[in-house]
Amino acid sequence: MEIVEETATYFKTTVGKNLSDEEAAQQLNELNSSYQEAIIKCLKARKEEIRRALVEKINAISSAQLQDFDWQLKLALSSDKISMLQIPLLNLDLDVRENGEIKPVSIEMNKEELQNLINALEAANKFVLQLK
Q: Are 95 and 68 in contact (CB under 8 A)?
A: yes
Rounded to the nearest angstrom, the gap between the alpha carbon of residue 73 and the centroid of all alpha carbons in its chain is 27
Domain 64-131: top CATH class: alpha beta
Q: What is the mean pLDDT of residues 55-72?
A: 85
The percentage of residues in the chain with a pLDDT greater than 70, rounded to a whole number, is 93
- Predicted local distance difference test score (pLDDT) of residue 58: 80
Per-residue pLDDT tens over the stretch 69-96: 999 998 877 666 666 677 889 999 999 9
Distance CA 122, CA 128 (A): 10
Q: What is the mean pLDDT of residues 40-55?
A: 91
- Exposure of 101 in the CB half-sphere (CA atoms within 13 A): 4
Q: What is the mean pLDDT of residues 117-126?
A: 93
Total Cβ atoms within 10 A of residue 11: 20
- Predicted local distance difference test score (pLDDT) of residue 121: 92
